Amino acid sequence: VIDGIHLHARLAALARVGAIDGGGCARLALTDADKDGRDLVVGWMRAQGLAVTVDAIGNVFAVRAGREDGPPVMTGSHIDTVRTGGRFDGNYGVLAGLEVCRAFDAAGLVTRHPLCVAFFTNEEGARFQPDMMGSLVHAGGLSLQEAYAATDTSGLRLGDELERIGYRGRAAPGTIRPRAFVELHIEQGPVLEEAGRTIGAVTGVQGISWHEFVVSGTAAHAGTTPMRLRHDAGYVAAAAATYVRQLTHDMGGAQVGTVGVSELRPNLINVIANHARFTVDLRNTDEALLRQAEQRTFAAIDSVAQAEGAAVERRRLARFEPVVFDAAMVAHVERVARAHGHDPMRLPSGAGHDAQMMARLCPTAMIFVPSVTGLSHNVAEYTAPADLEAGAAVLLDVLLELAQA
Amino acid sequence: VIDGIHLHARLAALARVGAIDGGGCARLALTDADKDGRDLVVGWMRAQGLAVTVDAIGNVFAVRAGREDGPPVMTGSHIDTVRTGGRFDGNYGVLAGLEVCRAFDAAGLVTRHPLCVAFFTNEEGARFQPDMMGSLVHAGGLSLQEAYAATDTSGLRLGDELERIGYRGRAAPGTIRPRAFVELHIEQGPVLEEAGRTIGAVTGVQGISWHEFVVSGTAAHAGTTPMRLRHDAGYVAAAAATYVRQLTHDMGGAQVGTVGVSELRPNLINVIANHARFTVDLRNTDEALLRQAEQRTFAAIDSVAQAEGAAVERRRLARFEPVVFDAAMVAHVERVARAHGHDPMRLPSGAGHDAQMMARLCPTAMIFVPSVTGLSHNVAEYTAPADLEAGAAVLLDVLLELAQA
Ligand SMILES: NC(=O)NCCC(=O)O
Ligand SMILES: NC(=O)NCCC(=O)O
């Protein structure tokens, strides 16, 4: 059985690394704080007697031997956070995986297949794009060269930062091919809480479209320049953000859209901006609708820029189609949850997850536990201790059955 | 007569201080670059034998003695720039004033009244607000204490920065009260060029309203947070900027409006912003209309913030009513311009100027010369050499008559 006290203690210890006001964490991928978090978790892995491998993209795999060699059953998630991150996003799934190993150790249990607990590099995509990068490279969806070339907003290269913090490992990505992958994660949305359920059996992950837009207008005087002569890059950015909001209303349903990054230059009160950079995050569970949302957004931004006499450049930062998880795996999660006395709920994931990349390699599932008021990517992100323990207990039995099969 | 070659040479020399790509200048008020620019101009003043006084807000006055003591006729402008500034905005009026002194020297002329060439601290207001700060303090419209307490975005205090660059002078502000004030400046707008005129006789300055808004929303996940549950500070900022644009269309006429500053936090692609800061610059030649524009803007921002469930705080950074210049002074400028063979055009100023503060103390006028395509606060700001010389020549005779009266 899961040692809940130990799980909470480790979550608290990891949350102290990169802690920020309000109880949250800032451990952006490949920063010093990320290195410190990695060192802490790798230390725990080693102390538990697991065999640790670091691959060339910095993914970390901790293997508990089985009676047979061969592909392991894998679980895990990520430990990087956004700049205003909570303490459970990602971390929970990794540390719960380690608790499953501890529970097996305590029971003197050797499973048939090896069990592997992984954490993947740069899942959040907050510093380097695309998100889910480590698992994407592992699944062969992105080359090491492309991944290393990603830069943050200060121009630092991912490859250099990985080397700097000492996590450019020797193993070739993708070497460890699991038999099955299960990721335990907080929901990060309000659905389970609103439905009063403890366990979610995740059916898949919605499609994700990330684009960056750079608008070039003309710097000019805010007082002397008639409205008809303006080429205001800031106005184009503002109109894009209000358009995205309107689009989500018009499309309704599952369509969400966010402008999370927006920056002007020279960013002075009496100067019309000659430069704007902003991002658009669009998501939908339906690929055709997501494409429609993209096309409408691109067309709207092009047309407002043209009317303003400003140039706009678009760059794709990430694009993943919706993913549907293996039906047998989803049913397996449901069955175990019911055996634990829960009334599990099927739901798609609103957030991207490493599981969606692993689904390219093997049968994959996810287990969700509720997020209070659906809050995540916020320092106030919270899940009740009892729910964290319930999710870990379900994970244990889901993994046990897969590892003994 | 004006030594055009010398004027252009000094403009070019001053433009090398804080030079940026594209031929412009970045000499934000009280930076090291501003200090270097000040040192250069003060050196020229001393070399011309003028008596230099620096007051407690860093305004610099260079006096050329007259036959009689008593209040001088004053000319001047400013030498600070915005971050993407041109080489003529402000600098032209100061250096042209020094050329008038050189021309009088060359002619062996001692005027009846003293002549004073001034440059005022922080006219642009790009780093510290309000704008026209030095002349406002000189005119008694702002206390030294309030001015010193102004902070830039990194929290540096104006008083400390003034001390640091060595321009916190001993003279009490407002000591030198001029008989009359004349400011020569580039138009910074397209009106003279479009009308094909060389000299503008400025009738006044439009009203200026600067406000800063800080919006507090809730950081949340861009993928998992349903649209109906969002408190997106970035959306409020975007809606405010599109509202300001719409308002200028609806009000038409002289109403201009600009959102030049807009910043989000945490400014990450997959995080709904919990913080936005933006500025609104509204201007109108009609005080009642300007008040209406303010009220409509404030109400619109309050209502979009309320609908979003976000809090908004408003702070006034600058507020100046429209200024009408002395009718006799405007007519005097016109008369001299006609005597020089020009067909002068009456027009209001779209930009704020030190002259609008000096108008509180004495009869005041401004002379404008054309800006190519109306561009200013842009590195590509340009005025043809012949127009610069024509403006300086008109300034000479305008000042001469005032100084001999
Ligand atoms: N789970 C999670 O927050 N992933 C980050 C990528 C995203 O969905 O924005
Ligand atoms: N002349 C000028 O650019 N003044 C700066 C203040 C303003 O009008 O924005």
By Cβ distance, the residue of B129, B225, B274 closest to A374 is B225
CB-based contact A259:A244 (threshold 8 Å): yes
Q: Scan residues 257-276 of A and list those with Cβ closer than 8 Å to B.
A: 257-264, 266-274
Which tokens go with B80?
């600070």
A350 CB under 6 A from ligand 1? no
Do the bridges between strand A271-272 and strand A220-221 make them parallel or antiparallel, or are there none, so unpaired? antiparallel
Which tokens go with B133?
């700060």
CB-based contact A25:A31 (threshold 8 Å): no
B85 CB under 6 A from ligand 2? no
According to the annotation, is B185 in a ligand binding site? Answer: yes
Residue A160 to residue A383: CA distance in whole angstroms: 35
CB contact, 8 Å: A224 with chain B?
Answer: yes
| Surface-to-core class of residue A338, CB atoms within 10 Å of its CB (0-12 exposed, 13-18 middle, 19+ buried) | middle
CB-based contact B63:B51 (threshold 8 Å): yes
Between CA B78 and CA B87, with CA B14 as vertex, the angle to 5 degrees is 65
CB-based contact A257:A297 (threshold 8 Å): yes
A240 contacts on B by Cβ (under 8 Å):
238
Flag if A271 and B374 touch (Cβ within 8 Å): no
In the A/B pair of chains, how many CB contacts fall below 8 A? Answer: 265
Q: Answer positive or negative: Cα dihedral of B149, B152, B156, B160.
A: negative
Which tokens go with B124?
């642009």
Residue B249 to residue B258: CA distance in whole angstroms: 12
Looking at chain B, the number of H-run helices and the number of E-run strands are 12, 18
The single residue listed with the structure tokens 């760059």 is A315
- List, run by run, the mean pLDDT of 10-residue segments along chain B (405 residues): 97 98 96 98 98 98 97 98 96 98 98 98 97 98 98 97 98 97 98 97 98 97 96 98 98 96 97 98 98 98 98 98 98 98 98 98 98 96 98 98 97
pLDDT at A334: 98
Mutation pick from A78, A229, A271, A349 vs chain B, by most beta carbons of B within 10 Å, is A271
Flag if B187 and A248 touch (Cβ within 8 Å): no
Flag if A281 and B270 touch (Cβ within 8 Å): yes
B9-to-B39, B82, B168 alpha-carbon distances in Å: 17, 22, 29
According to DSSP, residue A25 is labeled E
Length of chain B: 405
3-state helix, strand, coil in chain A (%, to 5): 40, 25, 40
Residue A185 to residue A93: CA distance in whole angstroms: 5
Residue B373 to residue B360: CA distance in whole angstroms: 32
A381 CB under 6 A from ligand 1? no
Between the two ends of chain B, the Cα-to-Cα distance in Å is 20
CA distance B239 to chain A (A): 6
Residue B278 to residue A155: CA distance in whole angstroms: 26
Amino acid at A235: Y
CB-based contact B72:B178 (threshold 8 Å): yes
A351 CB under 6 A from ligand 1? yes
According to DSSP, residue B228 is labeled G
**pTM score:** 0.95
Residue by residue, pLDDT tens for chain A (405 residues) are 999 999 999 999 999 999 999 999 999 999 999 999 999 999 999 999 999 999 999 999 999 999 999 999 999 999 999 999 999 999 999 999 999 999 999 999 999 999 999 999 999 999 999 999 999 999 999 999 999 999 999 999 999 999 999 999 999 999 999 999 999 999 999 999 999 999 999 999 999 999 999 999 999 999 999 999 999 999 999 999 999 999 999 999 999 999 999 999 999 999 999 999 999 999 999 999 999 999 999 999 999 999 999 999 999 999 999 999 999 999 999 999 999 999 999 999 999 999 999 999 999 999 999 999 999 999 999 999 999 999 999 999 999 999 999
Site to substitute for ligand 2 among B25, B88, B128, B131, most atoms within 8 A of C-beta: B131
H-helix segments, B187-326? 191-195, 233-251, 287-308
Which tokens go with B199?
């000299």
Strands (E), B51-159: 51-54, 60-64, 73-77, 115-119
Point out the annotated binding site of A.
78, 89, 124, 185, 377
